[in-house]
Amino acid sequence: MKLKTFLTAALAVVLLQANAQQATPDKIKTNKGDLTIQPIEHATLVLTWDNKTIYVDPTGGAEAFTGMSKPDVVLITDIHGDHMNPETLDAIDTEGATFVVPQAVADQLPEKYKVMAKVVGNGESLMVDGIPIKAVPMYNLPESADAKHVKGRGNGYILNLGNKNVYISGDTEGVPEVRGLKNIDVAFLSMNLPYTMDIDQAASTTLDFKPKIIYPYHFRGQGGLADVEAFKKQVNAKNKNIEVRLKDWYPAQ
């Protein structure tokens, strides 16, 4: 009995430690209850809304999702390992989930996930579990065949969750399709060199499309982490109505 009690207590400590590694979730009110936003790490996050759980670019193994419900929808933005991670897909329970992916990701998915995938191209829309999802171009400037992110390969996504439009950028620069977005309530914008944007470009892009709330994410690049405080200052110096939320996307650092 003592051994059983000890093992139960030890397991509880492990789970508490794992959960402590996750950033504190945010809740945003919608007309169908709260949208819960759980940062995981780098480009990975979990959205929970209307009894549905959405994993975005799941990486980090099963331990990264300790305490999370299994996904109903899995969004993958691009083919790189910090977005499409077969080892993590194998480690988590994806039974019954629908994958939403660009064609390039579908081509590289293991066979067992291909049958679960719905392919959507830049500018196209689809409905998954009652959630309207639109694919937004994500790419580098200037456009070139050898760019780290070529136009048409990957997707950003806009999800309509009740009366809130949520934009997830994936790896992009401040391209016209992003700067021209309208009516975005919540945005996740990448900001890391040399793969996406520097602070100045990310701030000017944000000021162009004017989301109500923005989370800089995916901001680890060359030389460490981008200065998210400087990003916040640049945005709010010109538009105090944009709420910049800074979360801990790199809990191990």
The string of pLDDT tens digits covering residues 133-154 is 999 999 988 887 877 889 999 9
Q: Considering only 46-55, 176-185, 188-197, which range has the smallest mean pLDDT?
A: 188-197
Q: Scanning the structure block, which residue is given the tokens 């640049």?
A: 234
71: exposed, middle or buried (C-beta count within 10 Å: 0-12, 13-18, 19+)? buried
Q: Tell me the domain boundaries of the chain.
A: 25-244
Tokens linked to 190: 């990448």
Centre a 10 Å sphere on the Cβ of residue 146 and count the other Cβ atoms it contains: 6
Q: What's the mean pLDDT when you consider all of the chain? A: 90
User: What pLDDT shows up at residue 24?
Assistant: 92
Residue type (1 letter), 226? A
Single pTM value for the model? 0.90
DSSP annotation of 68: P
Q: Superfamily for 25-244?
A: Ribonuclease Z/Hydroxyacylglutathione hydrolase-like (3.60.15.10)
First to last CA, the chain: 39
Average pLDDT over residues 101-111: 96
φ and ψ at residue 126, rounded to 5 degrees: -155, 165
Length of the chain as a residue count: 253
Per-residue pLDDT at 143: 81
Tell whether the model's pLDDT for residue 229 goes beyond 50: yes
Kindly indicate the confidence band of residue 253, based on its pLDDT and cuts at 50, 70 and 90: low
User: Residue 57's pLDDT band (boundaries 50, 70, 90)?
Assistant: very high
208 Cβ contact list (under 8 Å, min separation 6): 174, 179, 180
